[in-house]
Amino acid sequence: MPKKRKKAVSFDAMIKFFMSTYDIPTKKDINKLMDKLDRLEKLIRTTASYGKNKRVIAPNFAGGKGLQGKVVATASDEVFNVIKRFNDGTSFSEIQDRTGFGDKKIRNILFRLDKLGKIRRKSRGIYIAS
């Protein structure tokens, strides 16, 4: 009785099987990733040119009149400006009243400003601009 011949497996089929089984990326996958990276780098370059401590409000896509592309002071800038107004120092509650921010947000901002050296702590709860 003659032996049955098995169907030959092509080399390409075997490679595709291994690539799909072991999640090996193809050239097409890598090109997609490179395109995404290029877009992210371009976005980073454009936003970095506006300054380190400023943020830009996104354009209003609804077509209404708004702050389109204008630079706005950050929350840290607002707290620092409140502290700068008082020569003898200001209290935590005064900062909270003038900015309207919550306790946690102000505590984080004060910690960051102190670490950067922009303010110093005169005593517990009293802050002075450096």
Cβ contact 66:92 at 8 Å:
no
Answer whether residue 8 is part of any domain: no
Distances (CA, A) of 26 to 18, 22, 38: 12, 12, 19
Q: How many domains does the chain have?
A: 2
Domain membership of residue 62 (yes or no) is no
Residue 36 inside a domain? The answer is yes
Q: Is residue 80 part of a domain?
A: yes
> Which pLDDT tens digit goes with each residue over 97-127?
999 999 999 999 999 999 999 999 888 889 9
pLDDT reported for residue 93: 92
pLDDT surpassing 90 at residue 22 = yes
Question: Which pLDDT value is given to residue 49?
Answer: 60
Indicate the DSSP class of residue 129: E
Same domain, 85 and 119: yes
- The pTM of this model reads 0.46
Q: State the pLDDT at residue 50.
A: 55
Element (H, E) at 122: strand 119-123
Rg (CA), the chain: 29
37-71: pLDDT as tens digits: 999 888 888 877 655 555 544 544 455 555 555 56
Instruction: Supply the range of the domain harboring residue 115.
Output: 73-129
Q: How confident is the model at residue 28 (pLDDT cuts 50, 70, 90)?
A: very high
Q: Is 62 exposed, middle or buried (0-12, 13-18, 19+ CB in 10 A)?
A: exposed
Q: Is residue 3 part of a domain?
A: no
Q: What is the pLDDT of residue 3?
A: 75
Mean pLDDT, residues 20-48: 89
d(CA 108, CA 114) in angstroms, rounded, equals 10
| pLDDT value at residue 128 | 92
Distance CA 122, CA 115 (A): 14
| pLDDT in the model for residue 29 | 92
What are the DSSP calls for 29-72, one per residue?
A: HHHHHHHHHHHHHHHHHHHHTT-SSEEEPPP-TT--SS--S-EE
